[in-house]
Structure 1
């Protein structure tokens, strides 16, 4: 014989949904805060970029000299 199972009662939908404008402002605030937090550890200072460029120039110089010796 089949037994019937009790199912939870459905909750009534909220009387009034939040206004689209309020939700949009909340979403923009969240995005703004997330970008501010992410920028603190992903940013490389200007002097860091200059150092990376200097290393690249030196590497290119030595790579060119090494290729010239083999040719």
Structure 2
């Protein structure tokens, strides 16, 4: 799942080498902290948060297999 978030994020930004994904696992949830270069922040968030919402939707659909709640935080 971490690889999925990282791959999608790298495809969206101008500086893919600065994409970092930190995974925090608890009993019922998985939190991914996504950090990118400051100049790429707008590309990850998108207009009115549409790109971020789409990224969260894709990861949530992939997380149905693990029966855990998945959250993406853009740092």
Higher relative contact order (CA 8 A, sep 6+): 2
Bigger fraction of residues in strand: 2
Question: Between Structure 1 and Structure 2, whose CA radius of gyration is higher?
Answer: 1
